[in-house]
Copies of this chain bind each other. A is one copy, B any other.
Amino acid sequence: MNEEEKALVKSYFSPKKLRKKQYLLQEGDACKYLAFVEQGLLRSYNVDDKAVEHMLQFAWEGWWISDTYSFLSGEPAAYNIDAIEDAELLLITLPHFEEMMLQVPRMERYFRILFQKNIISKERRLLSSISLTAEEKYLRLQHSNPELVQRIPQQLIASYLGITPETLSRIRKTIVQKK
């Protein structure tokens, strides 16, 4: 990308800082922004009838996060997004996003490829989810994404895997014992 393009792309975004525990998006609101994480750590999740949180995604430096459906459709968001660690973001609105796609074909391509990669990783997580035991899921996550396991609090990892914190605690114990 040349300097001119870089400047143009940058002009579509606005910076935003978020303190730990602050919301970027709350369920029910329209998701106005797609966020690029420059610094820090965010999560998206939903909350069920029993007030249990279910992690959809974590996003740190270099990752994108939003409620994709709400962002694109304008419908109320199904998910919450908040900061697990203080964060610095670059935000883009849908009109700016669409404009950018048209003005900078390179970005259209960038996002098509980004989305491809996202699909591939979601497919893997899905297959883990439907085919592995709790322990296998944890071990595979640890193997495929060690930074996540290291950086994210344990209860959130449990939620991400679809198991209870107690079960994860016990699994970790047996893994240590096996060594």
Q: Is the CB of A122 within 8 A of B122?
A: yes
Once the chains bind, are B46 and A127 in contact (CB under 8 Å)?
yes
Q: Which of the residues B46, B115, B122, B131 comes within 8 Å of A162, measured between beta carbons?
A: B131
Is A72 an interface residue, CB under 8 A from the partner? yes
Is A149 on the interface with B (CB-CB < 8 A)? no
Q: A175 near B: Cβ within 8 Å?
A: no
Q: Mark A114-132, 1 if CB is under 8 A from B, else 0.
A: 0110111011011101110
CA distance A121 to B162 in the complex (A): 18
A83 at the interface (CB under 8 A from B): no
> Copy number of this protein in the oligomer?
2
With A116-B68, A116-B115 as contacts: A129 and B126 at CB distance below 8 Å:
yes
Residue in B116, B123, B131, B160 whose beta carbon sits within 8 Å of that of A122 in the complex: B123
The answer to whether A9 has its CB under 8 Å from any CB of chain B is no
Find A123's partner among B68, B105, B109, B130 (CB 8 Å cutoff): B68
Q: Are A112 and B123 in contact (CB under 8 A)?
A: no
Selected contact of A120 from candidates B68, B126, B131, CB within 8 Å = B68
Residues on the B chain within 8 Å of A72, using CB: 116
The winner among A55, A115, A159 for most chain B CB atoms within 10 A is A115
Subset of 7 A-B contacts with CB under 8 Å: A54-B127, A68-B116, A68-B120, A115-B115, A122-B123, A125-B126, A129-B162
Q: Give A72 Cβ to nearest chain B Cβ, in Å.
A: 6
A residues 127-163 near B (Cβ < 8 Å) are 127, 129-131, 159-162
Whether A101 is near chain B, meaning CB under 8 Å from some CB there, is yes
A108 CB–B CB distance under 8 Å: yes
A116 proximity list for chain B (CB < 8 A): 68, 72, 115
Please tell me if A63 contacts chain B, counting CB pairs below 8 Å.
Answer: no
